[in-house]
Amino acid sequence: MASVDSERQGGPNLNATAVKILVAGGFGVGKTTMVGSVSEIPPLSTEEMLTELSVGVDDLAGVEGKTTTTVALDFGRITISSELILYLFGTPGQGRFWFMWDELAYGALGAVVLADTRRLDSCFPSVDFFERRNIPFIVAVNCFDGADLYQPEEVRQALAVDEKVPIILCDVRQRESCKQVLLTLIEYIIALAPALAGDRSPAVTSS
Amino acid sequence: MMSGDESWFDEAAGPLVRPYAMTRGRTRPASNKLDMITLVVAVRADVDTVTLDPEYAEILRLCQRPLSVAEVSAQLDLPLVVVKVLLSDLIDSGYMIFRPPMRATRVPDKNLLQAVLDGVRRL
Ligand SMILES: Nc1nc2c(ncn2[C@@H]2O[C@H](COP(=O)(O)OP(=O)(O)OP(=O)(O)O)[C@@H](O)[C@H]2O)c(=O)[nH]1
Ligand SMILES: [Mg+2]
């Protein structure tokens, strides 16, 4: 278990650790469905405000004055024990939400990039993001019914991801399948840990 | 509840929407670094509803067990930025404590990862 920070003496013992895994991918690829399939609670939704400071100039064209829009972010929870809680965050894939990605990615154990073989390109930005930050990720291909089934190796070629990155097929509506995706990711992170540990410098997180 | 060094919207910013009014116009927590999965919990079981503003009292009622900042935001249906300000107030004034997510290094603890793996296997 990670070391316990004692923020204050004498209060209730807050000795739980929270960790998070991101579920990223293009629009409508099944992120929320996957979060819901493994979460112990129905996916919750929280919003982050997008103020003019975080909006690109283009987005403000034609908008008068100060604007505040919000972006919904959904997440689920898996209470592993009284000391360990795993949160899964569905990460909005559209470029205009990227201002949130840094906070989302900060401290994440790793990420699942969901891919839809009918629109493989929609997961390119997610793959780029995690590769650049050295955040461990795997690719899970959501097999929508009727979608052309590609072999993982074909997907790997199309995405040009490293040979070591696991690529698996899944059905985000099936709990067992989603569980398998998470296990694959966590095992991959564990396998990577020694390599990452050898490079503890801050450079690990910079792009 | 006020620590005095908050940033305020200037008057020219126009009418405040309700969430901003609730945080008295402040847009970022005064001191504490809270992120989405920072866990927070109320220090005491009884909630002083007489002197506390309703939003604060509601948070304290909700946080009788550890919840993440994101969960508080979702449950109260308030944006994260607003919830972070309210929570910082409660932390600064000793009503709540928080536990930042592990992050000292980029590399998660091996035992922690193993515990996550075992936990997901048991699902
Ligand atoms: N037939 C089929 N439908 C699916 C599958 N996965 C997801 N869907 C449906 O596809 C739609 C989009 O799924 P979501 O889980 O909302 O996708 P999302 O990635 O969260 O979407 P956004 O948050 O809008 O980007 C929903 O109506 C799902 O029910 C699948 O494997 N097969
Ligand atoms: Mg969604």
pLDDT 10s digits, A185-206: 999 999 998 777 655 444 444 3
Domain count, chain B: 1
pTM greater than 0.90 (yes/no): no
Please say whether the beta carbons of B101 and B37 come within 8 A: yes
Is A63 inside a domain boundary? yes
Is A24 inside a domain boundary? yes
Residue A27 CB neighbour total at 10 angstroms? 11
At A7-54, the pLDDT tens digits run 433 345 578 899 999 999 988 899 999 999 999 999 998 877 665 444
Is B112 inside a domain boundary? no
Is A50 inside a domain boundary? yes
Is B60 inside a domain boundary? yes
A131: domain range?
Answer: 6-205
Q: Please work out whether the CB of residue A31 comes within 6 Å of at least one atom of ligand 1.
A: yes
Smallest CA-to-CA distance from A183 within A125, A79, A110, A116 is with A110
Is B41 inside a domain boundary? yes
Is A147 inside a domain boundary? yes
Between CA B121 and CA B76, with CA A110 as vertex, the angle to 5 degrees is 85
Domain count, chain A: 1
B81: domain range?
Answer: 13-103
| Contact flag B98-A44 (C-beta cutoff 8 Å) | no
Nearest to B74 among A7, A16, A44 (CB): A44
Is B57 inside a domain boundary? yes
Q: What share of chain A is helix, strand, coil (3-state, %, to 5)?
A: 35, 25, 40
pLDDT score at B7: 40
pLDDT band at residue B52 using 50, 70 and 90 as cut-offs? confident
Strand partners, B39: B68, B99
Is B68 inside a domain boundary? yes
Q: Please work out whether the CB of residue A122 comes within 6 Å of at least one atom of ligand 1.
A: no
Cα A74 to ligand 1 centroid, rounded to whole Å: 13
Q: What is the 3-state secondary structure of A101-138?
A: HHHHHCCCCEEEEEECHHHHHHHHHHHHHHHHHCCCEE
Rounded mean pLDDT, A93-110 = 79
Nearest to B113 among A73, A87, A189 (CB): A189
Is B48 inside a domain boundary? yes
Nearest residue in A to B104, CA atom: A107
Smallest CA-to-CA distance from A109 within A53, A183, A36, A186 is with A186
Q: What is the CATH number of the domain that holds A170?
A: 3.40.50.300
Is A1 inside a domain boundary? no
Is A68 inside a domain boundary? yes
Is B115 inside a domain boundary? no
C-alpha pair distances (Å), A134 with each of A34, A107, A203, B37, B89? 23, 12, 10, 21, 35
Is B28 inside a domain boundary? yes
Residue of B23, B78, B112, B123 best to disrupt the A interface, most CBs of A under 10 A: B123
Residue B11 has pLDDT above 50, yes or no: no
